[in-house]
Structure 1
């Protein structure tokens, strides 16, 4: 077995819950503003946050909610999201986070699968929430800002309800479903706590960092890397209910943000949108991009325009989520970084199952204390993803250099097989968005009886963007013959999850419908 070790010293495995970890930091700075609602400007100090969490947790306990109970939240990013989240975990419960853009049937599926007993939401989503809870285990609907929510606050719970840090599920997010239906990912307090500590170490998080938090808290990237890392690491958040470029830039300017946390679609805007020039972003040192591959050309374009470093990280919901990041003071465009503390990696040949050494290309396997407990109600998928000795098969194709830098080349299940050659969609997409006038792109394989699959591209382009002929000529000049596009479709937008991943299955579904 060839194992790649982290260059970082291990972080200690601390025997605290997720909320105890956050409280440890907040009690040292009670008067600091830690949460601000972007649209209204309403803010909350560390002391006020602790008070609200403890009183809401006390109210939940008085209502009979506690250890083993699953409660759900359907809400956009807002300070109250953070309060609800930590009140549930402090009361010993499990929280499942729902995408606010879900339809009622999608909400119902997650509520049923998770076994949620209560649902927190906001007035704007009440209709969908009320329609969704019928036929589920949900008995109580609490609406933030209304009496059902405010009346829930009770006598403060002054101590964490006892839980098993290693075996109790505390967070139950659902995977994005880029290659299948969403699955409940069971994460323990240990998973979440250690990954915050790993992230603070690997990502050079510094006290005082304030950032615009648009990455959704219902997704693990926004939840643990933004919300919990900033609260634990001495920082603050200005929440945004959805991404709005003007608000994002204004918050970054006004709060002198040292760092931006983004996904690739925002990188495109930062590199190409004229509005960026209207804001003073001189305090910016780092743009950190994750959730999907970021091509080297686009990464360089962001760095050049903003006069800062632009780096990638890698992770997944099943890893709580961080496993890799580009180290402090280093720039490696196109690379996903080196492994975080306590994190071991292997590269496994997808044909033979053999371990590969430096620069070998195969499936990335990861082992560490951040690896999930498994998939809820899905032992088959759990066994397919986690080996008996604890290695998580990521499903991503990668290679690790002799210096420890890992580069993702593509998703295993998204590889296009063209006449026996493996074509990586991410590589072709990086070439496309690197062209002037192309603002977004996605590449999938179209079934073909002779070739197996043909690479086809969906692109979003400006009016003065390149013609199909110009794109084909550019590909001919830059990529091997088997990587050429066999069809180019122009669309108004690329379907993506809230975390920025391309939903290729939706494009494949469109192909099937068009063929009938």
Structure 2
């Protein structure tokens, strides 16, 4: 029986279901370009691209892909870029050409790129100029034939007062050379009109890669329909229109950024202020300058912003909606954000396999450190991860989800696709691998990943809970909890801590442990504290706890 506890707190004024569009993702852009041709679509370092121009550039690049590079319907094309106007043009041009976007983390390097090219059979890539040293060897190996290289500075104003980050500000397209390389401007100049758009809502549109828990990344197959479900659903959940201005700081290659910072705003017809890389002071300047109304982020960005010594001087008054996902927002940080903006940080939950959110907090009744409630047409439950039997409300188990945005399967991996879901009550449910529970009002809470649990003397310690508690410490900027061997307890808790700048030379292991003992049950307290300048993070800003855990295991093995 479908869980409907959450209907008690369904947001006011939001319909229980949505009539999903029959068109494609490109149709969203075409429709908005007709309705709001002269409105700003993209704002990037002093330069504004209107919707009419955005669509025109998409048409040109799509024609080049089809008529010059031979991209056909259903072909996979790698999109290997940082946030930029060219990313948005490239994404929609691939779709306009009836091909499939394979978004690639710009932090990916040779072995990973080789895997993406071999796994998808892609022949063409769109890449940032700064990434050519990593992608051109893939051309030399015969896996790709061409790379269309984007120089982000060409999309910025020559009079920009905020420079592009790092080396990107000084790159010039004349230097974009190498095997199979075609300059972006040359591609647009040489373009001929594309064939009529023939993709349907059921054709493949995007294959984001999921890191998973073991082995190589797996491609998650999404159709135009499954992507549209979360893009349109996000706009319906927290209504937006052409007057909204969104700050795109989440990486667009990642499903949350792709949907909340690009596809959703384009459906609504709003403006997108693009940031290539996160910088807290630049972000605050852009919010004030462009009267940004919507900011979707990840908790690590919010932590960085509120910990800035300039935080109280930022003008964030134009913001009307803030939120994000990827990791729980620590209570202490959420409070600081509320103090700065007067807004609740709306948390959501989703995966690459569900093309972003399946759960979002109701805007009218949000909870902190909470995944939210199942959104439109989603049936989500909690089951015993061993028996797959549904558990009663309040019991901790694996979160499983059935809904219209669930992926079509893993690219080229039918066996893993089969293992990822099971049938219950006549429906296929996707196994998220996340442990959580449902409260009496239908809110979902995550406890941790199925494989991320520390067993200390028989007590189960959930790292996410300890991390959330430790964020209340005034001298801790960031923390990651991992397990380490202990001769007495079997396993014990270790905290990897980034101190606040002011406490880098004064915070001690004893002080942290003593504070923890005063704040939480003894079995949860870290017995070891390691200080570091930064935690390893993915391109989407998530803390790579597995990397820290693996390093610890290697240390233990060496010992």
Q: What's the TM-score once normalised by structure 1's chain length?
A: 0.94
Aligned with residue 496 of structure 1, among 537, 540, 543: 537
Contact persistence 2:246–2:295 (CA under 8 A): yes
Aligned residue for 2:16, secondary structure, equals coil
Aligned 1:108-147 pairs, distance under 5 A: 108-145=114-151
CA displacement 1:145-173 (0-9 Å, x = unmatched): 5554334332333742234x23x321111
Corresponding position: 1:189 with 2:224: yes
Contact persistence 1:52–1:83 (CA under 8 A): yes
RMSD over equivalenced CA pairs, Å: 2.0
Partner of residue 160, structure 1: 197
Partner of residue 407, structure 1: 445
Q: Quick one: distance in 2 between partners of 1:339 and 1:25?
A: 28
Contact persistence 2:346–2:363 (CA under 8 A): no
Partner of residue 31, structure 1: 38
Corresponding position: 1:240 with 2:245: no
Partner of residue 3, structure 1: 3
Aligned residue for 1:265, secondary structure, equals helix
Q: Quick one: distance in 2 between partners of 1:466 and 1:308?
A: 32
**Could you list the runs of 5+ residues in structure 2 that have no partner in the other structure?**
152-172, 174-181
Deviation, 1:503, is: 1.0
Aligned length: 512
Deviation, 1:304, is: 1.7
Aligned 1:115-514 pairs, distance under 5 A: 115-145=121-151, 148-153=183-188, 154-157=191-194, 159-163=196-200, 165-166=201-202, 168-177=203-212, 181-388=216-423, 389-448=427-486, 451-462=489-500, 463-464=502-503, 466-514=507-555
Aligned residue for 2:147, secondary structure, equals strand
Deviation, 1:448, is: 4.2
In structure 2, relative to structure 1, the CA distance for the partners of 1:468 and 1:148 (3 Å cut) is closer
Partner of residue 156, structure 2: none
Contact persistence 1:220–1:317 (CA under 8 A): yes
Deviation, 1:52, is: 1.1
Q: Quick one: distance in 2 between partners of 1:22 and 1:399?
A: 38
Q: Quick one: distance in 1 between partners of 2:28 and 2:195?
A: 15
Aligned residue for 2:232, secondary structure, equals helix
Q: Quick one: distance in 1 between partners of 2:543 and 2:255?
A: 17
In structure 2, relative to structure 1, the CA distance for the partners of 1:423 and 1:162 (3 Å cut) is same
Aligned residue for 1:27, secondary structure, equals helix
Partner of residue 100, structure 1: 106
**Could you list the runs of 5+ residues in structure 1 that have no partner in the other structure?**
none
Contact persistence 2:247–2:294 (CA under 8 A): no
Partner of residue 91, structure 1: 97
Q: Quick one: distance in 2 between partners of 1:328 and 1:411?
A: 26
Aligned residue for 1:270, secondary structure, equals helix
Aligned 1:29-108 pairs, distance under 5 A: 29-38=36-45, 41-63=46-68, 64-108=70-114
Contact persistence 1:179–1:505 (CA under 8 A): no
CA displacement 1:10-43 (0-9 Å, x = unmatched): 11132111111232223211000111223xx222
Q: Quick one: distance in 1 between partners of 2:415 and 2:19?
A: 32
CA displacement 1:397-433 (0-9 Å, x = unmatched): 1122222222212111112222333211111111112
